[in-house]
Amino acid sequence: MFQTIRGTFDVLPEAHESGGSRVPGAPAWRHAEDRVREVLARFAFEEVRTPVLEPVELVARGVGATTDIVQKEMFTVERTRETYVLRPEVTAPVMRAYLQHRLGERGGATRLFYVGPCFRAERPQKGRFRQFHQFGTELLGSDDPRADVETIAAMGAVYEAFGITATRLRLNSLGDAPDRPAFRDALRDHLAPHADALSETSRQRLAANPLRLLDTKDPSERALLADAPRLTDFLGAAARDHYAAVRDGLADLGIPFVEDPTLVRGLDYYTRTVFELESDALGAQSALAAGGRYDGLAEAVGAKQPVPAVGFAAGIERLFLALDAQGYALPEARRPDAFLVALGDAAERRTLALARDLRAAGRTVDLALATPGAGRSMKAQMKAQMKAAARSRARHAVILGDDELGRGVAAVRDLDAGTQADVPLDRLAGALGAG
């Protein structure tokens, strides 16, 4: 028997356990995704759907060659002379689509959102999967600090729409690329006397990508960094003003945040604003959503002109964890109005047309189909079909036998109340709709 591969799961009609995680049923996913779409549409973001497969170079150059995602976590697909990658995130693909289709030529800023699967070969654990699902926004073509505030407000509005309020917003500014060399030198000077105490990875990061060093989880390294120089002290005037305007905008909207000068992100494209939304309900993987500004990404993936842009992305699995923690009632499968039970050949032949007419009248209708192993006698069939009716969670069983057919009626059993009455076939749709 084949099984889903590690870190992936099926979504079934109903919730189930998979690898220690509770996977909500498809109606819950639909509900969550619909609500996300509703909220983001109110901010005038428009949906885009980009391919799951992208050129590996887009991700390598977009997300950054020294990131964990590119170095360790890509699922690549070899195809003759090309290498593709299952997208680990959607920001670089959206930028590709924006440039490819010249969406910027419509004038003004472009507001896009997406909902869909992403793939990272991480070690699976609670809230962390190898195929996971993100929703997010990208606001392209503006360096206005209000774009950053709008992005953070839209992200917050999604969680608010689900009643999730126990969150913490961490905020930082990574400045512009020219602000970084002086910071890197200062950080190197600060750490040089302690080089022996750094792990091999951190020494490499210090050389290749010093910002990432600030992200270390190692307690002794964190201690070394406690009084290290802060990137925010090295911001150029433009980035400093921008950061101040973002903070002011958040304050004007009453959106609480904490400044965290050690907040850096695992993706290399960020400039200026970065942020993470956390929830204690999630455990170790505390990030519900995260994002920031990425004014250099367009050029990194080949654009001739810079495209200033800002966005966020959120994990749907983590949204579910937060919903679960506060006992949010997710919708379950819709119940059929009727389950048709047929006894005898004539009645069986009649069920398809009866189902068609009831569905045409807007009813949700299931019907008993022969299954291997069911007995052949009338009694055995009745029993098997009524069991199927109960399993279908239908509100009514509509029982059709030769006797009923002869009289032009069906026996309608209310499966919740246990009551039963004959209903003329031409009035069935109405009777089934009422309950």
Select from 113, 183, 234, 312 the one that contacts ligand HAM (CB under 6 A): 312
Q: Is residue 247 involved in binding ligand HAM (CB under 6 A)?
A: no
Instruction: Compute CA 202 distance to the chain's CA centroid, rounded to the nearest angstrom.
Output: 31
Closer to ligand HAM by Cβ: residue 119 or 234:
119
Asked whether 307 and 84 are in contact (CB, 8 A), the reply is no
Select from 30, 31, 128, 146 the one that contacts ligand HAM (CB under 6 A): 128
Applying the rule CB under 6 A, the residues between 260 and 299 that interact with ligand HAM are 266-267, 287-292, 294
Question: CA-to-CA distance for 369 and 339, rounded, in angstroms?
Answer: 11
Q: Is residue 325 involved in binding ligand HAM (CB under 6 A)?
A: no
Amino acid at residue number 434: A
How crowded is the C-beta side of 120, counted as CA atoms within 13 Å?
Answer: 24
DSSP state, residue 121: -
Select from 61, 67, 89, 347 the one that contacts ligand HAM (CB under 6 A): 89
Closer to ligand HAM by Cβ: residue 187 or 264:
264
Closest separation between CB of residue 85 and ligand HAM, Å? 14
Q: Is residue 122 involved in binding ligand HAM (CB under 6 A)?
A: yes
Closer to ligand HAM by Cβ: residue 300 or 398:
300
Q: Is residue 136 involved in binding ligand HAM (CB under 6 A)?
A: yes
Element (H, E) at 251: helix 237-252
CB-based burial of residue 146 (10 Å sphere; 0-12 exposed, 13-18 middle, 19+ buried)? middle
Select from 9, 129, 162, 257 the one that contacts ligand HAM (CB under 6 A): 129
Calculate the alpha carbon distances from 173 to 296, 317, 416 in Å.
Answer: 14, 28, 58
Using the contact rule CB under 6 A, the part of the chain among 32-40, 183-191, 198-206, 315-323 near ligand HAM is: 315-323
Select from 317, 337, 366, 404 the one that contacts ligand HAM (CB under 6 A): 317
Question: CA-to-CA distance for 69 and 67, rounded, in angstroms?
Answer: 5
Using the contact rule CB under 6 A, the part of the chain among 121-129, 200-208, 371-379, 418-426 near ligand HAM is: 121-129
Question: CA-to-CA distance for 422 and 25, rounded, in angstroms?
Answer: 35
Closest separation between CB of residue 369 and ligand HAM, Å? 38
Closer to ligand HAM by Cβ: residue 147 or 341:
147
Give the CA dihedral 222, 226, 227, 228, nearest 10 degrees. Answer: 40
Using the contact rule CB under 6 A, the part of the chain among 313-321, 323-331, 344-352, 375-383 near ligand HAM is: 313-321
The alpha carbons of the chain give a radius of gyration, in whole angstroms, of 28
CB-based burial of residue 270 (10 Å sphere; 0-12 exposed, 13-18 middle, 19+ buried)? buried
Question: CA-to-CA distance for 42 and 358, rounded, in angstroms?
Answer: 37
Using the contact rule CB under 6 A, the part of the chain among 9-17, 204-212, 243-251, 308-316 near ligand HAM is: 308-316
Applying the rule CB under 6 A, the residues between 158 and 197 that interact with ligand HAM are none
Q: Is residue 138 involved in binding ligand HAM (CB under 6 A)?
A: yes
Closest separation between CB of residue 54 and ligand HAM, Å? 13
CB-based burial of residue 13 (10 Å sphere; 0-12 exposed, 13-18 middle, 19+ buried)? exposed
Closest separation between CB of residue 291 and ligand HAM, Å? 4
State the residues that interact with ligand HAM by CB under 6 A: 89, 91, 120, 122, 127-129, 132, 134, 136, 138, 266-267, 287-292, 294, 311-315, 317-318
